[in-house]
């Protein structure tokens, strides 16, 4: 695995050493589990690697930081083909490459199921972290990146449509890292979160942490033609996928002043009337309940 | 979970922010898997937490750095008692507390087996990382911390002696963090490694990375009376446990000049005559082959 210029000691020693020029380091971990987050008959090793990396990289970006390095713990059955595990590593690398981050270390162990735990580190480059707690009444609510795609893809896979174009959106997210980092750089964002549990659930975390409520406009939610078409085909509501589907790793946040380039205005922060909550002004609010992926 | 002064953003956001005053950060990950590294009928949740933390903390120390923070990915069966998972968290915290490190983030997911993947971060405080590649002919080989205890404890557990005093040494290592960090500070160490695969195997990594061979004296290996007694009881050779047993997380390294306080002189670095190798001057060298834990 190639190492970027910020890697002072790469893989192969007891630990890696990575530059942290800012004097602070951002750190997060996400774990994907076979049978819960992915199925090996639906996703390739490369898909799983990309998706596992994306989950953690998006968290770093959602703090307003640029990812620098990943360390990865992989468990796999003894009879798993080595090429499958190698494809996971390639997928991790390809996703990390989008941001110039390096895979600097890892551990592997035999286990009954495949699990991929990815820790991502990031650099704030002198900026303040963008947390979940900075939303204030009057702020605008914005969405960066696509939503509803992975949920639509999962629905297609669940009805046996493995070859549907949207199935790939379940297999590996297309994350709007660059738009999110540009929005951070604009200095307009007062809060930011990675949408992994679903828009309503994750904006609920912002509302709670900030002590505010959030009013969304369903009419303002971007629904891609592909997603709308799939929803019609399966007889479900596309808005439901967009409002509650996880795994696309879009970014939701709040801003003051102009809506940053690449972001879409979807609502307004209002004062919490009692408990902090997220609601739609123009339709019933779907139950969030946290995203449960599939199977158990 | 209490947070130390170096934690700028703790758990509960997309990612944590940790001070890295040195401008570099040390990072490593280790994963423990139920049925391979531990059994729930032998080890408590607290034991597993301590041991999982120790594996990663020792790697950071073996780079010459002081651990600052942990992020943890836990998978567990849905029917696992919540108190067991809470005990894991307590064990992680208690081990991290020994070094003043904080648990700053985590992820948890349902899975068939318990796995605990711990990423540890550390600070070099202006010092150079102590790698595996710095050993040179003429350097002294030193051991810091106890060895053979976990292997003896595992052997006792395997013959049903769950209540034997040494069984606890398998359940959770007693790691000589402070002696190792003091040795690093002395500036005498030319290489250092965490002994997790066994002394011969891990010094083999030092030999290979440094392009040297290592001559060990079996007579110089410290064999604790408890370990010697257990070996006699089970009719095995204590030296075998000390030379090839993993999981104690002792530190092995090389130094120039005086042997640091808390370290024991166990051999000499010699020029590699062809392939780098580790051998005993006073007994046959046990096959290392990497530590295989138990079960598969």
DSSP B20-52: -TTSEEEEEEEEEEBTTTB-TTTS-HHHHHHHH
pLDDT bin (cut points 50, 70, 90) of residue A80 is: very high
Contact list, B194 vs chain A (CB under 8 Å): 14
Mean pLDDT of A230-250: 95
Give the model's pLDDT for residue B43. Answer: 96
Contact (CB<8Å) B20/A23: yes
Give the model's pLDDT for residue A14. Answer: 97
Contact (CB<8Å) B27/A105: yes
Give the model's pLDDT for residue B294. Answer: 54
Contact list, A16 vs chain B (CB under 8 Å): 26-28
Q: Smallest CA–CA separation between A234 and chain B, in Å?
A: 29
Give the model's pLDDT for residue B293. Answer: 55
Mutate to test the interface with B, among A14, A30, A64, A78 (most CBs of B within 10 A): A14
Q: How far apart (Å, rounded) are the C-alpha atoms in residues B253 and B140?
A: 8
- Which residue, among B156, B136, B160, has the nearest Cα to B245 in the 3D structure? B156
What would the pLDDT profile of A42-79 be if each residue is shown by its tens digit? 999 999 999 999 999 999 999 999 999 999 999 999 99
Q: How far apart (Å, rounded) are the C-alpha atoms in residues A166 and B64?
A: 48
Q: How far apart (Å, rounded) are the C-alpha atoms in residues A192 and B42?
A: 44
Mean pLDDT of A73-89: 96
Q: Smallest CA–CA separation between A237 and chain B, in Å?
A: 28
Give the model's pLDDT for residue B235. Answer: 96
DSSP A89-151: HHHHHHHHHTTT-EEEEEEEEE-SS-EEEEEEEEE-TTPPP--SS---TTPEEEEES--SHHH
Q: Average per-residue pLDDT in chain A? A: 95
Contact (CB<8Å) A73/B73: yes
**Residues A262, A182 contacting (CB under 8 angstroms):** yes
Mean pLDDT of A85-107: 98
Q: Which helix (H) or strand (E) holds B107?
A: strand B102-110
Give the model's pLDDT for residue A286. Answer: 86
Mean pLDDT of A232-236: 96
Contact (CB<8Å) A30/B59: no
Among A28, A32, A69, beta carbon nearest to B27: A69
Contact (CB<8Å) B17/A129: yes
Could you read off the pLDDT tens digit of each residue along chain B, which spans 296 residues? 789 999 999 999 999 999 999 999 999 999 999 999 999 999 999 999 999 999 999 999 999 999 999 999 999 999 999 999 999 999 999 999 999 999 999 999 999 999 999 999 999 999 999 999 999 999 999 999 999 999 999 999 999 999 999 999 999 999 999 999 999 999 999 999 999 999 999 999 999 999 999 999 999 999 999 999 999 999 999 999 999 998 999 999 999 999 999 999 999 999 998 899 999 999 999 886 545 555 43
Among A69, A111, A131, beta carbon nearest to B33: A111
Give the model's pLDDT for residue B240. Answer: 94
Is pLDDT of A296 > 70?
no
Q: Quick one: residue B149, left, alpha or beta (phi over 0 = left, psi -120 to 50 = alpha)?
A: alpha
More confident residue, A246 or A282: A282
Give the model's pLDDT for residue A246. Answer: 86
Q: Smallest CA–CA separation between B95 and chain A, in Å?
A: 19
**Residues A62, A128 contacting (CB under 8 angstroms):** no
Mutate to test the interface with A, among B14, B56, B79, B125 (most CBs of A within 10 A): B14
- Which residue, among A150, A120, A106, A147, has the nearest Cα to A30 in the 3D structure? A120
Residue B265: other Cβ atoms inside 10 A:
13
Mutate to test the interface with A, among B7, B116, B117 (most CBs of A within 10 A): B117
DSSP B207-265: HHHHTEEEEE-GGGS---HHHHHHHHHHT--HHHHHHH--SS-EEEEEESSSPPTTEEE
Poorest-confidence range of A1-5, A35-39, A110-114, B238-242?
Answer: A1-5
Give the model's pLDDT for residue A214. Answer: 98
- Which residue, among B180, B179, B183, B162, has the nearest Cα to B171 in the 3D structure? B162
Q: Which residue of B has its CA nearest to A128?
A: B17
Contact (CB<8Å) A19/B23: yes
What would the pLDDT profile of A185-199 be if each residue is shown by its tens digit? 999 999 999 999 999
Mean pLDDT of A105-130: 97
**Per the structure block, which two tokens stand in for B115?**
């796995």
Q: Smallest CA–CA separation between B101 and chain A, in Å?
A: 14
Size of interface A-B (CB pairs under 8 A): 214
Among A20, A131, A296, beta carbon nearest to B20: A20
Contact list, A8 vs chain B (CB under 8 Å): 24, 129
Contact (CB<8Å) A17/B8: no
Q: Smallest CA–CA separation between A190 and chain B, in Å?
A: 14
How far are the Cα atoms of B1, B61, B68 from residue B124, in angstroms, in the given order?
A: 25, 9, 10
User: What ipTM was assigned to the predicted interfaces of this complex?
Assistant: 0.95
How far are the Cα atoms of A100, A109, A127, A147, A218 from residue A179, in angstroms, in the given order?
A: 16, 37, 17, 14, 22
Mutate to test the interface with A, among B119, B125, B194, B290 (most CBs of A within 10 A): B119
Contact (CB<8Å) B112/A115: no
């Amino acid at each position: 695995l190639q190492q970027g210029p910020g890697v002072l000691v790469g893989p192969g020693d007891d630990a890696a050493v990575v530059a942290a020029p800012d004097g602070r380091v951002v750190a997060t971990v996400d774990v994907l589990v076979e049978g819960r987050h992915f199925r090996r008959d639906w996703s390739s090793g490369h898909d799983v690697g990309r998706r596992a990396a994306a989950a953690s990289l998006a968290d770093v970006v959602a703090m307003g930081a640029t990812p620098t390095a990943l360390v990865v713990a992989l468990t796999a059955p003894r009879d798993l083909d080595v090429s499958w595990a190698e494809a996971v590593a390639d997928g991790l690398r390809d996703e990390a490459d989008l941001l110039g981050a390096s895979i600097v270390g890892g551990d592997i162990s035999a286990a009954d199921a495949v699990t991929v735990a990815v820790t991502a580190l990031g650099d704030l480059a002198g900026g303040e972290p963008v947390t979940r707690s900075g939303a204030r009444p009057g702020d605008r609510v914005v969405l960066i990146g696509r939503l509803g795609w992975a949920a639509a893809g999962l629905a297609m896979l669940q009805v046996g449509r493995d070859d549907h174009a949207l199935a790939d959106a379940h297999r590996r997210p297309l994350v709007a890292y660059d738009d999110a980092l540009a929005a951070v750089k604009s200095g307009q964002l007062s809060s930011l979160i990675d949408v992994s549990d679903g828009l309503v659930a994750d904006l609920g975390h912002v509302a709670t942490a900030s002590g505010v409520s959030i009013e969304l406009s369903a009419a303002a939610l971007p629904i891609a033609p592909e997603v709308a078409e799939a929803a019609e085909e399966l007889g479900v509501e596309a808005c439901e996928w967009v409002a509650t589907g996880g795994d696309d790793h879009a970014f939701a946040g709040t801003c003051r002043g102009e809506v940053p380039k690449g972001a879409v205005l979807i609502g307004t922060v209002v004062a919490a009337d009692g408990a902090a909550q997220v609601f739609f002004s123009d339709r019933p609010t779907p139950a969030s309940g946290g995203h449960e992926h599939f199977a158990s």
